[in-house]
Amino acid sequence: MANRVKTRYPLRIEQSYGRNISNLINEIGKITLNEFDQTLSADIDKERLKKDDRFIQDGLLDVANKLIKKVKVLSLGALGNTDANKIATKYLNGVNTFSKSNVNSQLSAKGINPLEKESWLKEYMKSKIAENVSYITNIRDEYTTKFEQIIYRGVTSGQSSKDMRDELVNLVGITESRAQFIARDQTGTILGQMNAQRHQRAGLIAFIWSDSGDERVRQSHHERNGKIYYYADDPLLPGTDYGCRCVAEPLDEKEIEEYLKGGM
């Protein structure tokens, strides 16, 4: 229909958010690998040549303990709560601006006045920023915990410095993937919730589920594609399932009638 404006997905915002988190994780990775290379790596190779196993373990564990403590401090310095808050705030503001602009274009096309005052938004934004700060700092904390496990396991099992370093390099990659997933998951969820609030407050009572149309769409969501859902029924919102990039195409009453008659 001529008066329909498609619901868009903020892919660039998602990608930017993922990059920002990943950049900080990469920085922590560089710091931790450098500390490993400067301290424990050389000691491992020297101590493995000695014959007194008890001395070897005690000596390396002492170095390992100091390394782990230092890495935790440096990680907090590289990615503190203030850094996480800045990233999350910029990200939420970006998604909010994107959503509001898109929805207002949809409303204008349907002859509905654009949204102005939004009393619900302040608390929602505050909550989502706090939630995303938690996700970001959890990534950091999970990284340092796994770093600690790799170091202790390697020291006590007699692992070579090269094998331990390879595990640490792999850990950075795994952590980056986690950051990308959070960016994708949160973007779909936040966009879906914001759009739903704005659609309903503008008097739009239903939507058509629209999937992202690529090979990553899960089968259950593809089966929803093109079907109508009513907000009053409290349905699963597009984008709010984990890692979902589906969107809701809002319908006014005239469009609902046409849809039910098979005219859309």
- Mean pLDDT of the region 94-123: 94
98 alpha carbon, distance to own chain's centre: 17
Residue 40 amino acid letter: L
- The structural domains of the chain, with segments of one domain joined by +, span 11-203
91 pLDDT higher than 60: yes
DSSP code for 142: H
Mean of per-residue pLDDT scores for the chain: 90
The pLDDT value recorded for residue 49 is 45
pTM of the complete model: 0.90
Q: Are 1 and 255 in contact (CB under 8 A)?
A: yes
- The region of weakest confidence among 3-7, 21-25, 161-165, 178-182 is 3-7
